[in-house]
Structure 1
């Protein structure tokens, strides 16, 4: 039975996300104000784009530029499903630009790239999760930057002034506001960088994305609380994890043991 799940992310520049499950209906020629980035999960899709017909099999990526006329038809006998997101050119410029970048143009209509498939799946999962804004923005930047570098034609530029000092400023701001929701836009603006350039430089300087840096220091603080005899639940809530399972997952990934095991050993 066909089912469509749609979500609208106002805090991510009005990003639209669609999960079309067991798609049966065809769509006539139309266009979107944003790009169409679609991951074919099962079956196959046939579509018109750039004056020609294309077929996208399972585990392939469909790329349609903003305002580009296209259609979409089922091209397999069994169930056919896909997940897609529709970032606008303005969102690309906001995340990738520093005032001079332009939104990319994708020449290829269908792409076969296992790394891109993994990034697409990770992005959909994060967008559907209870993760905070910084995690969602970071994942979206990772996807769009990889896509632009591999498939688009975007020149990345950055300012040369004291990069290390600006990253230290961002680190200190994250530490000073460790238990608060901090957006990628806020951090990038603080150090006068575009979000894309900031996240690349931050990782190159620290070895971690801003979100991973934040999580690491929250976990360090939680461990200190548990060493002082505080309960696992108290430690998780104090450092900003309002979902216990979310806290447990990050803790075990970081330490290899659960918070309860750590607490009992202290």
Structure 2
């Protein structure tokens, strides 16, 4: 039986957690402002990340970096279930070391590590239990510390680093002017690229076109507004969607739940 359960943890810096049981609807390509760290409880999931398809079976960890484009679909017969959380880079830093940038880059999309899988399973169970803030935070820090210890950092060539910096500038401009009617010409001129080269580099770096990136971040803004009690109809119009149904369709494609389900959980 299909079932989705979403929870929002104020005592963990606004950590979002999603439990999907036998979800038959595929998630199209999208991203999240936070990391995706998931545990496959049973069955299997297939997903796109880093230009390739990956398969994650029972007890596998799925790792997707913040703002990294991905999709997700069921990849087995019978029931498939997974639990995922979305810690932001800021949450990594706040929990682990406030004075240093500890938010990692996960080079591996799927991790087979029984010890880490057991820790993540225990963490998810704890997050669903009426335990103290201290216990939740302690388990969270222990898991993230052990997870980060098994990852490396990506080293970029000077040329790739330069392109990434220029695309990062365009991304920042889009985010700073999220509700403006920005043209492709303006964005390309901003970082001194032709329109064709800009779109190609932008999609290569983010997995999204500039317009899809804009929609994604409007959805992120909408989530914040819903958390602060704004009505769904007001949010839909304020973040630039045509109507309630247009907003709900994009929201569910991104989160796997409706705006109303998200609002009630928060």
1:77 aligns with 2:74: no
CA RMSD of aligned residues (A): 1.3
Matched residue pairs, number?
Answer: 154
Cα distance in structure 1, aligned partners of 2:151 and 2:112: 11
Cα distance in structure 2, aligned partners of 1:40 and 1:19: 10
Give the superposition deviation at 1:152: 4.6
1:9 paired residue number: 9
1:42 aligns with 2:42: yes
Give the superposition deviation at 1:55: 0.5
Please list, as runs of the form range in 1=range in 2, the aligned pairs for 1:77-116 lying within 5 A after superposition. 77-116=77-116
The ranges of structure 1 where at least 4 consecutive aligned residues each deviate by more than 2 angstroms after the TM superposition are 151-154
Give the superposition deviation at 1:153: 4.3
Cα distance in structure 1, aligned partners of 2:4 and 2:134: 27
Q: Secondary structure at the match of 1:137?
A: helix
Contact preservation (8 Å) 1:24, 1:80: no
Give the superposition deviation at 1:101: 2.5
Q: Deviations over 1:2-49 (max 9, x none)?
A: 000110001101000111011211100000000000000111111000
Q: Identify the range of structure 1 (94-103 vs 38-47) with the bigger mean alpha-carbon deviation.
A: 94-103
The answer to which structure, 1 or 2, has the higher relative contact order (CA under 8 A, 6+ apart) is 2
Give the superposition deviation at 1:98: 3.8
Cα distance in structure 1, aligned partners of 2:100 and 2:41: 36
> TM-score, with normalisation over the residues of structure 2?
0.56
Please list, as runs of the form range in 1=range in 2, the aligned pairs for 1:67-216 lying within 5 A after superposition. 67-153=67-153
Cα distance in structure 1, aligned partners of 2:152 and 2:126: 24
Contact preservation (8 Å) 1:30, 1:71: yes
2:18 paired residue number: 18
Considering only CA atoms, is the larger Rg found in Structure 1 or Structure 2?
1
Gaps of 5+ in 1: 155-266
Give the superposition deviation at 1:58: 0.9
Give the superposition deviation at 1:140: 0.4
Q: Secondary structure at the match of 2:37?
A: strand
Q: Secondary structure at the match of 2:150?
A: helix
Cα distance in structure 2, aligned partners of 1:134 and 1:54: 35
Contact preservation (8 Å) 1:74, 1:80: yes
Cα distance in structure 1, aligned partners of 2:51 and 2:110: 14
Cα distance in structure 1, aligned partners of 2:152 and 2:144: 10
Q: Secondary structure at the match of 1:151?
A: coil
